[in-house]
Amino acid sequence: MKKDGDAGKELERLIGIIARLREPGGCPWDRKQTIRTLTDYLLEEVYEAVEACLAGDATAAEEELGDVFMEIVFLCRLFEEKGAFAAAAALAGINTKMIDRHPHVFAGEKVSGSDQVVEEWNRRKLEEKGRSSVLDGVGGNLPALLEAFELGRKAASVGFDWPDTDGVLKKLQEEIGELENARGQGDAGKVEEEMGDIFFTLVNLSRFLSIDAEKAATGAIDKFLRRFAYITAGLAARGQSLQNATPGDMDALWNEAKEKRI
């Protein structure tokens, strides 16, 4: 297993490989890539890396994180070709930022704990970027659940939050009531708005319960797929198909899968 001391050498090697692929006589596919196409690939690789990390699969995580490194270096190369910046500048920037944002580690400042570290991080970030709100800079391209979580977390960092989990649950019940009223009025636009409020509140409830909303939603999807596969297989064993099965047939098999904790 390679050690951290080898990281710089391997990063230089990767930078050289990407440069060679982009040069005349390099790879036709790599030469035609753009910042737009690579950002799509970067998002895909990040999701795969997150999945591997959350699954606790070290081998897969090593591979997927390597793919993320590759996409980042590739993007830096494209910016370098435009005369903007190279990978070294991006690395220098993040190194400087990490040192500046941790004066309690690198400059001898004192902090009372992790909460103060977060407060100071946000304060410095606002000053450095000239922002007036802690909500500025939350990416609009983030997946909706993640963006909702980030907005809730940042608002909470300045005290705009529910007092406790019961408060969030009360808000959720309120939003469900508003959805029911909107349905009764037949107002499609209002129904959509209230559904959005329910999703947003659920994400914040997950935050209060220290649950990753994206992970929880993915788990629910995986469970649904497993149980639906159980239904399909169970029907096939009886000589039935989904098309000729009754809702009662499918519900019975779903409940079997549930009892078996599938």
Task: Share the mean pLDDT of the chain.
Answer: 90
Q: What's the whole-model pTM score?
A: 0.60
Domains 4-99 and 159-211 share a fold: yes
Q: What are the phi and psi torsion angles at 209 (to 5°)?
A: -90, 5
pLDDT band of residue 235 (cuts 50, 70, 90) is very high
Q: Classify residue 239 as exposed, middle or buried by CB count within 10 Å of its CB (0-12, 13-18, 19+).
A: exposed
**The domain 159-211 belongs to what CATH superfamily?**
MazG-like (1.10.287.1080)
Q: Where are the domains of the chain?
A: 4-99, 101-129, 159-211, 215-259
Nearest one of 31, 14, 22, 10 to 73, comparing CA atoms: 14
- Burial readout 63-102 (b: 16 or more C-beta within 10 A, e: otherwise): ebbebbbbbbbbbbbbebeeeeebbeebeeeeeeeeeebb
Structure-block tokens of residue 7: 């990281």
**So what's the architecture of 4-99 in CATH?**
Orthogonal Bundle (1.10)
Q: How many CB atoms are located within 10 Å of the residue 148 CB? A: 22
Nearest one of 27, 67, 75, 21 to 47, comparing CA atoms: 67
pLDDT digits (tens, 9 = 90+) for 120-137: 777 777 677 666 566 666
